[in-house]
Amino acid sequence: MSVLFPQKCPVCGRIIKDDGQALCRECKAKLPVITGARCIKCSKPVGAEGALCGDCKKRKHAYTCGYALWNYDSCTGKLIKEFKYSGRRDYADWLVWELTYHMSDFIKRIKPDAVVPVPLHTSRYRQRGFNQAEIIAKGVSKKTGIMYMGDVLIRNKKTIPQKKLDDMKRNENLSGAFALNEDNMRKYGNVRTALIIDDIYTTGSTVDACARVLKSRGIESFFAVLCIGQGF
């Protein structure tokens, strides 16, 4: 198949020569993996081990702590956009592999009872045909054996894309956006901790909004994302 349909790199558009790779070798080498010290709360790069980032110093979070694989830059931005809007689900396997592999220590440390994707509003789901967070969460669940809990969070408000708003407006935009489906929640028995999955984390307002809903049911939240960007 790859001979008939040479696969293009989602970042630079060049033909990928290595079989089974989602990115070309050059772009893969440029991926901004976070390697140094991370914020103990949100996992953004910081100057020293054990420190909080500027954003987490300013804001209290409803989640306990999280993990991010890459920094948000033009390369990872393009990659996520391609995955999110073009329906290229074939990237999903590779993204799941990268995320699960790199966060294995984090998973061992927090031992979550369930994996929970950030839900899309039903109208947006219909429009796009899939939820990128759901695809990643299902993959993480399959790879780690952690229970998948994809139907307990509901998005009952159609929100404006968060990237268009400043920090205060982001919180307003998300207020009351998520709710818990009590009927579905009952199926899962005693869940005490959840790993919330999303593609991008910026100020954390989306993860926080989900964590607050889960907290109302006594569930402690952690999160994992592909990319983390700077807040405001």
Interface with Zn ion (CB under 5 A): 9, 11-12, 24, 27, 39, 41-42, 44, 53, 56
How far is residue 120's CA from residue 132's CA, in Å, rounded to a whole number?
A: 9
Q: Residue 195's closest CA among 90, 110, 68, 101? A: 110
CB of 105 to Zn ion, least distance (A): 18
Q: Give the total residue count for the chain.
A: 232
CB of 189 to Zn ion, least distance (A): 32
Q: Which is nearer to Zn ion, 120 or 226 (CB)?
A: 226
CB of 37 to Zn ion, least distance (A): 11
Q: Which is nearer to Zn ion, 146 or 211 (CB)?
A: 211
CB of 26 to Zn ion, least distance (A): 6
Three-state helix/strand/coil letters over the chain = CCCCCCCECCCCCCECCCCCCCCCHHHHHHCCECCCCECCCCCCECCCCCCCCHHHHHCCCCCCCEEEEEECCHHHHHHHHHHHHCCCCHHHHHHHHHHHHHCHHHHHHHCCCEEEECCCCHHHHHHHCCCHHHHHHHHHHHHHCCEECCCCEEECCCCCCHHHCCHHHHHHHHCCCEEECHHHHHHCCCCCEEEEEEEEECCCHHHHHHHHHHHCCCCEEEEEEEEECCCC
Q: Which is nearer to Zn ion, 16 or 115 (CB)?
A: 16
Q: Which is nearer to Zn ion, 53 or 209 (CB)?
A: 53
Q: Which is nearer to Zn ion, 56 or 114 (CB)?
A: 56
Q: Which is nearer to Zn ion, 12 or 180 (CB)?
A: 12
How, if at all, do strands 147-148 and 220-228 pair? unpaired
CB of 83 to Zn ion, least distance (A): 14
CB of 120 to Zn ion, least distance (A): 25
Q: Which is nearer to Zn ion, 77 or 144 (CB)?
A: 77
CB of 41 to Zn ion, least distance (A): 4
Tokens 């818990």 locate to 180
